[in-house]
Chains A and B, each alone.
Chain A
Amino acid sequence: MQFMLLFSRQGKLRLQKWYVPLSDKEKKKITRELVQTVLARKPKMCSFLEWRDLKIVYKRYASLYFCCAIEDQDNELITLEIIHRYVELLDKYFGSVCELDIIFNFEKAYFILDEFLLGGEAQETSKKNVLKAIEQADLLQEDAKEAETPRSVLEEIGLT
């Protein structure tokens, strides 16, 4: 996979994961043009299109478009499954995920994606394992924070 974009029906970017090195300017240009192209498509059209020299696979879930650019030899249908798996992971994590969850917790959306895909390829094909790893990492984050929070002397000796 070369990149994945999540954007709303109004064309607002909610997540962008790039697996190829491009300048900020190029990324913006690609994003702008591709978003326009995908938003112009009608509901019943197929999920695949050829754009520039890339294969694009996209799917709409409620108000969000999930859009991936894949290589020539990549399987379009399995990419649809990858997108679906990511949505399932988000759904399980946030509990009935909606766009607002991804807006207000965007860094979490990235963390989840980074436990599912690595360098543009699927690293874990078991839903359970991805969610377990995220859970553990979150705990580690909380533990670390707790360890850092300065406690009063009374707290230290357990009197409050």
Chain B
Amino acid sequence: LQINPLTMRLQEMIRVIRSARTQGEERGIIQRECADIRSQFRQGDNGERSHSLAKLLYVHMLGYPAHFGQMECVRLIASPRYSEKRIGYLGAMMLLDEKQDASLLITNSIKNDLSHSSQYVQSLALCTLACMGSAEMCRDLAPEIERLLRASHSYIKKKATLCAVHIIRKVPELAELFTPSARTLLSEKNHGVLHGAVVLITELCERNPDTLVQFRKAVPELVQIMKGLVTSSYSPEHNVAGISDPFLQVRILRLLRILGHNNDTASDAMNDLLAQVATNTDSSKTAGSAVLYETVLTIMDINSESGLRVLAVNILGRFLLNNDRNIRYISMTSLQKIVQTDHNAVQRHRGTIVDCLKDQDTSVKRRALELSLALVSAVNIRSMMKELLIFLSVCPPELRSQTASGIFNAAERYSPSKRWHIDTILHVLTTAGGDVRDETVPNLIQLITTASELHCYTVHKLYRALIKDIAQQSLVQVACWCIGEYGDLLLKGECEEIEPVQVTEDDILDALETVLQSHMSSPATRGFALTATMKLSTRITDNVDRIRSIVSIYGSCIDLELQQRAVEYNALFKKYDHMRAAVLERMPVMDKNSPGHTNGDTSGEIKEPDTSKPKPVEAGLLSEPASQKHCCVYVHVVPTVSVYEKNGLSLKIQCDKQTETEVTVTLIASNSTQNDITNFTLQAAVPKVCTHSVFKLGSVFAHTNSRYSFQQPY
């Protein structure tokens, strides 16, 4: 290192800047230096310009503005002195990018320097063009580059090749210009040129399928080159940890991948080589692992023999056990790519993958989670879920939501039983209720309604969870809903599937009231609790008055939603008491796609659909769709309604099933008199709103003691 008095001044400046004790002091020094630099620039050619620019570049790296140096770069590049060109080009790469107008001004200098007698000057021009050349500059200089590709010796050739790569990235149409020369470059012996050639050919093939077809013919040549590298005797110049030029090997393997993809002939031609590399490469150091990694990626992406694929997956499996965390991470990234296509092969490594859930590094954990979720199947669902639930309770917060979703999806697809499914969801809600998506609550409610044999079990479990802790909102909401629906089952004091509780009506109402009054409960949760309380008025016998008073109190609640509900429930007690039983009846089984179930797509916001509040009954079979403005979709539950009671004839309409588009009802007519009723005619009418609906008549069943038969209508 030759120390030059002028260099000292640059280093002196650096020293002074670094000695500044405060930001303000530094800024002062910088300001002084910049003024000095500016005046130096103004002085013109004085042999000091390159040092002034170097100082400016240092200042720029500290984050200070340096745009006044742009023109100086242009001038220095045009200088005949190498020292000035060198720093000028560096300045151009740091201060000028293709967005600056000044960058165009150096095009001519670059053009001249590309044919300079000194290869080091040519080198500067090539480097700069490849670093920051704009599309326009590239178009201008492409012919020069192409010439250098063919004519020059290896020092320049290798740089021209990579320059061509940059040009093609900027101006894809120019690919044609370089395609002919690219092929001949493969016969070069110089590793630098060869490496550049492979990169260039890769770029050409990725952009043009016709070119790709053309270069498939080069596969045997590429295989030969690889073979040479893999089997060659020790070459100190290119050796890295026992691997001969791993950089070149990796690029060739990548090119082979592109050429062999979806093509049997090409894939066959490289099969042996890939097997050889996969078997013989020493992976004790990173260089070898890098080559093995690229080999595996290639094997999996071409039409390889099944034996070769198994070999590749086994390599990945071995990587999973490597002490080096980087290798484990890489392995899982690759396994993720092939878990769908080579599912069984990856399953063999499930145990190791699950172990990686315990890794300290969050990136590794994330990979392990994604892979684990992809490996869940009907066969392993129970053991996998155990691991996933454990993971959920200890995983870093940023992974909880993903884990919860993954668990729900897996449970949805592979639950061995409804009870297991419900238990799993409850477990997730208890552990990570705050991280689940909003539709979890209605999804779970829907699931519970379908598992009618488990209603007693479910409400017991949820009741116990509720009295233990009311912090997890989603869990509390589901618990309230269940208690509102199936509270009578709690009071029975008996249950097949689980130890029953011994509770009184007051106990249950206490639990709900605690939720209502707690500051931890969100407004939505309180809504659930209030409605559940109301519903219990038809399921309990002694304490209805207590419910009446709760409902009346909340009629003046500040929360608008709660107030509205309370007022309506009050009305239900006072004016519509005759309808109360019907309105608050057990819910029918909800279809997954029924309006109350899914979040309204019509409005942008996602809020929980309000399955707890039944709409008061109005005349007509079909209730109007609720307004979507509040982003809450109401369930249009049509309960059983008595529509005619006279002279011993009673008619009831019972809703059996409803979906988004249709409602199925049963008309139950009963005759409580001693005499027969004759000439009973049923006529159905629909409101004008439903003029486009189709009315279908189902079967008619008659239960009669009469001598006369019941005629089937047509």
A residues apposed to B, CB below 8 Å = 13-16, 18-19, 21-23, 28, 42, 44-50, 73, 75-78, 80-82, 84-85, 94, 103-107, 110-111, 114-115, 118-119, 121-129, 133, 136-138, 140-142, 144-145, 148
Contacts and interface: CB of A to CB of B under 8 A. Distances in A.
A51 B248 CA distance: 27
Contacts of B246: 78, 81
Contacts of A137: 82, 86, 120, 123
Given A75-B254, A76-B330, A126-B191, A23 B99 contact: yes
Nearest to A95: B1
Interface in B316-342: 325-330
A46 B192 contact: no
A78 B294 contact: yes
Given A107-B87, A144-B82, A121 B196 contact: yes
B363 interface: yes
Interface in B534-566: none
A111 B247 contact: no
Given A137-B86, A140-B118, A46 B361 contact: yes
Given A119-B166, A123-B162, A81 B82 contact: no
B61 A13 contact: yes
Interface stretch (B171-179, B284-292, B489-497, B588-596): B284-292
A125 B249 CA distance: 11
A75 B294 contact: yes
B155 A133 contact: yes
13 contacts: A21-B98, A44-B361, A45-B362, A46-B325, A78-B246, A81-B246, A81-B247, A85-B240, A104-B14, A111-B90, A121-B162, A124-B192, A145-B4
A128 B235 CA distance: 12
Please indicate which of the listed interface residues B54, B82, B123 has the most CB atoms of chain A within 10 Å of its own CB: B82
A148 B287 contact: no
Contacts of B134: 21
B126 interface: yes
A124 B158 contact: yes
A118 B132 contact: no
Contacts of B294: 75, 78
B643 to A, nearest CB: 62
B573 interface: no
B6 to A, nearest CB: 9
Interface string B205-233: 00000000000000000000000000000
Contact of B81 (A13, A22, A73, A148): A148
B57 A107 contact: yes
Contact of A76 (B47, B54, B326, B364): B326
Contacts of A111: 86, 90
A78 B290 contact: yes
Contacts of A106: 57-58, 61
Contacts of A103: 14, 18
A10 B327 CA distance: 28
B325 to A, nearest CB: 4
A80 B326 contact: yes
A27 B316 CA distance: 37
A50 B289 CA distance: 20
B165 interface: yes
A12 to B, nearest CB: 8
A18 B60 CA distance: 14
Contacts of B14: 103-104
A44 B530 CA distance: 52
A28 B250 contact: no
B57 A123 contact: no
A85 B684 CA distance: 86
A144 B162 CA distance: 28
Given A104-B14, A124-B192, A145 B83 contact: yes
A48 B132 CA distance: 27
Contact of A21 (B97, B287, B328): B97
A46 B363 contact: yes
B159 A123 contact: yes
Given A46-B325, A125-B195, A144 B238 contact: no
A119 B130 contact: yes
A119 B158 CA distance: 12
A84 B240 CA distance: 11
Nearest to A144: B82
Contacts of A107: 54, 57, 87, 90
B165 A121 contact: yes
B11 interface: yes
Interface string B182-193: 000000000110
Contacts of B328: 46
Top 10 nearest A-B pairs by Cβ distance?
Answer: A119-B130, A77-B290, A78-B290, A119-B166, A46-B325, A124-B192, A118-B162, A144-B82, A45-B361, A125-B247
B237 interface: yes
Interface in B143-159: 155, 158-159
B199 interface: yes
Nearest to B62: A13
Contacts of B240: 81, 85
Contacts of B120: 133, 136-137, 140
A122 B195 contact: yes
A125 B287 contact: no
Contacts of B130: 118-119
A13 to B, nearest CB: 6
B360 interface: yes
A136 B98 CA distance: 30
Contacts of A110: 90
B127 interface: yes
Given A85-B240, A115-B123, A122-B247, 16 more contacts: A23-B99, A48-B326, A75-B290, A77-B326, A78-B246, A81-B246, A119-B130, A119-B131, A121-B165, A123-B162, A123-B195, A125-B191, A129-B192, A136-B120, A141-B82, A144-B82
A123 B192 contact: yes
Nearest to A107: B54
Contacts of A19: 131
B63 interface: yes
Contact of B83 (A21, A80, A94, A144): A144
B64 to A, nearest CB: 11
Contacts of A124: 158, 191-192
A118 B326 contact: no
A32 to B, nearest CB: 10
A107 B328 CA distance: 37
Contacts of B247: 78, 81-82, 122, 125
B293 interface: yes
Interface in B110-134: 118, 120, 123, 126-127, 130-132, 134
A68 to B, nearest CB: 14
B86 to A, nearest CB: 6
Contacts of B72: none
B678 interface: no
A124 B82 CA distance: 22
Contacts of A48: 326, 329-330, 363
Interface in B90-104: 90, 97-99
B76 interface: no
Contacts of B162: 118-119, 121, 123
A49 B363 contact: yes
Interface in B45-77: 47, 54, 57-58, 61-63
B602 interface: no
Contacts of A145: 4, 83
B485 interface: no
B400 to A, nearest CB: 19
B37 interface: no
A145 B297 CA distance: 51
A16 B61 contact: yes
Interface string B243-275: 001111010001000000000000000000000
